[in-house]
Structure 1
């Protein structure tokens, strides 16, 4: 029996991008999925667009957040509805290539990894001008991930049969915090070296603020992972170097 994949998508003011994300899921060669989009109280047409797709395709499901609480809580709202063994993440402004689920599920089965991730390319805000292939390390343990930026959210897939149920922590880098939590429990993340996702770089994106990002990474080490100043400094230096190499050129 084919395993169901639950796809988790938080959406806020995503009216200009959400259709591309949804159609990229509908075009997957692997058909056994549910896409759960949590509209985080968007002031634009995001909810109405998703609702239209949900009316036409029962695999697309809309969750409406009563108040805006940020991506972590929106992801948790979707996770609360998820029925699949596998949880895949897709941000509302990104999209997948057609064989993403097919290839990653096969890889997850062959590797036995609880967390898998893939390569990807960046594109500009309009979805054009593809950047270079973003290569990733073969595997990541907890300590390796502390100093790395390799797992892009929209490439990640988790096997809940191995990890058990989980929720996001309400923090700036809730995705990074989740990967650390899973690996801290003893799981290992394995990479599928296939280009399967497009990451849209938005102008003025908060995540592109290097100073703010640096502060939030430091906060993750100190407040969530409970690391001392010395350890945090070592891992932060590694993280910063990897981030610099990653973003040195488009």
Structure 2
């Protein structure tokens, strides 16, 4: 049974953290290590993590030496990864119980080193657990196959669903960017000739618009997208403008779900 290294950055997430962690520990694919980096929280998140670690040895928290943002927190976690696969979940989102089992089987059958899935959206104040979740019809659907060019036009991969094959790709860290570091990582992998493949079944739950969350305002990310296209991907001005317009349209469309 392959080991999955689950990467979770935490910053002041005490309200939602427990449900997120429990959704990982309740996976039908139980061979996981939950690598959590607390990015200098001030709300007791680290104390909660220590309690969760005492209850289950698969929970492996660490405190960042200093506050450095989501990319550094994720990279500190990835640096400890021992798994065959690396998967990502933020501390305000959840996985449905069969998420890893279904995705691992899909990745193996399709020889796909980067995979993602469809996911449900709920309001930011949702308080339920993943094991009790009732499908609500608000689904962001995964495409079956996404190329590098596709991804330049739209970020098709929900970070809470992404998983890469560490045996095939090695440990791939996120670029040290204040935002859109997950998008940059998917582009890095796909630029090397690895298209991403999507599981059409929704297997995760995304809390939309929670105040203070990294992605609470998609339009606020326009400046960061522009920097990614120009500085990280080295696109021309016309290509950057085209990519930005596509991503803004995609974000607006997803916000209506």
TM-score band, normalised by shorter chain? over 0.9
Q: Which residue of 2 aligns with 1:174?
A: 181
Q: 1:161 aligns with which of 154, 167, 177?
A: 167
In structure 2, stretches of 5+ residues that fail to align are 128-133
What is the 5 A alignment of 1:28-67?
A: 28-67=27-66
Q: Is the 8 A contact 2:2 2:85 kept in 1?
A: yes
Q: Aligned-pair distance for 1:164?
A: 1.5
Deviations 1:71-113 (A, max 9, x none): 0000011001110010000000000000001000000001111
What is the 5 A alignment of 1:173-192?
A: 173-192=180-199
**What is the root-mean-square deviation in Å for CA atoms of aligned residues?**
1.4
Secondary structure of the structure 2 residue equivalent to 1:110: helix
1:132 is aligned to 2:138: yes
4+ residue runs over 6 A deviation: none
In structure 1, stretches of 5+ residues that fail to align are none
Secondary structure of the structure 2 residue equivalent to 1:109: helix
Q: Which residue of 1 aligns with 2:131?
A: none
Q: 2:157 aligns with which of 134, 141, 151?
A: 151
TM-score, normalised via structure 1 length: 0.95
Q: Is the 8 A contact 1:123 1:131 kept in 2?
A: no
What is the distance in 2 between the residues matched to 1:22 and 1:16? 12
Q: Which residue of 2 aligns with 1:116?
A: 115
Secondary structure of the structure 1 residue equivalent to 2:118: strand
Q: Aligned-pair distance for 1:149?
A: 2.5
Q: Which residue of 2 aligns with 1:236?
A: 244
Q: Aligned-pair distance for 1:13?
A: 0.1
Deviations 1:130-183 (A, max 9, x none): 561111211111111011122111100000111122111111111000000000
Q: Aligned-pair distance for 1:205?
A: 3.8
Q: Is the 8 A contact 2:219 2:248 kept in 1?
A: no
What is the distance in 2 between the residues matched to 1:228 and 1:54? 48
TM-score, normalised via structure 2 length: 0.93
Q: Which residue of 1 aligns with 2:203?
A: 196
What is the distance in 2 between the residues matched to 1:88 and 1:33? 10
Q: Aligned-pair distance for 1:245?
A: 1.8
Q: Is the 8 A contact 1:6 1:88 kept in 2?
A: yes
